[in-house]
Amino acid sequence: GESVGLHLPTLSVQEGDNSIINCAYSNSASDYFIWYKQESGKGPQFIIDIRSNMDKRQGQRVTVLLNKTVKHLSLQIAATQPGDSAVYFCAVRIYNQGGKLIFGQGTELSVKP
């Protein structure tokens, strides 16, 4: 099986600071990793993803880092804005298991103006 855990259920940062949200997974056969943002009452919104053959991927203000040695994934948000306030989930796909995603518990990010 696979278990996915997040290190902190809540994170509070000052506007303009960088945010780092961490995630750990257990199955070494996990081959694809994805971060979603969920605002209250809405569905998960894709932020960024990374395949297991990479260790870093950058988007606009977001970076995902993957450390397969310790089975750790992180999401970095640069210059965090109030609009970034939401719950962030990491999700993991295990190779050859039909594409299902296994989600972590979520970290609630609060951005103080």
Partner 1 sequence: EPEVTQTPSHQVTQMGQEVILRCVPISNHLYFYWYRQILGQKVEFLVSFYNNEISEKSEIFDDQFSVERPDGSNFTLKIRSTKLEDSAMYFCASRTTVQETQYFGPGTRLLVL
Stretch that binds partner 1, among 20-28, 52-60, 65-73, 93-101 (CB under 8 A): 93-101
Query: What type of residue sits at position 105?
Result: Q
Q: Which two tokens stand for residue 18?
A: 């960088």
Stretch that binds partner 1, among 20-28, 37-45, 60-68, 71-79 (CB under 8 A): 37-45
93: enclosing H helix or E strand: strand 86-94
> For partner 1, which is the closer residue by CB, 14 or 45?
45
Q: Which of 86, 89, 102 is nearest to 13 (CA)?
A: 86
28: enclosing H helix or E strand: none
Stretch that binds partner 1, among 21-29, 36-44, 60-68, 71-79 (CB under 8 A): 36-44
Residue linked to tokens 């190779």: 95
> For partner 1, which is the closer residue by CB, 20 or 87?
87
Q: Per CB under 8 A, which of residues 41..80 are in contact with partner 1?
A: 42-46, 49, 51
Q: Is 96 exposed, middle or buried (0-12, 13-18, 19+ CB in 10 A)?
A: exposed
Q: How many CB atoms lie within 10 A of CB 73?
A: 25
Q: Measured from the CB of residue 62, what is the shortest distance to partner 1 in angstroms?
A: 14
Q: Which residues bind partner 1 (CB under 8 A)?
A: 32, 34, 36, 42-46, 49, 51, 89, 91, 93, 97-106
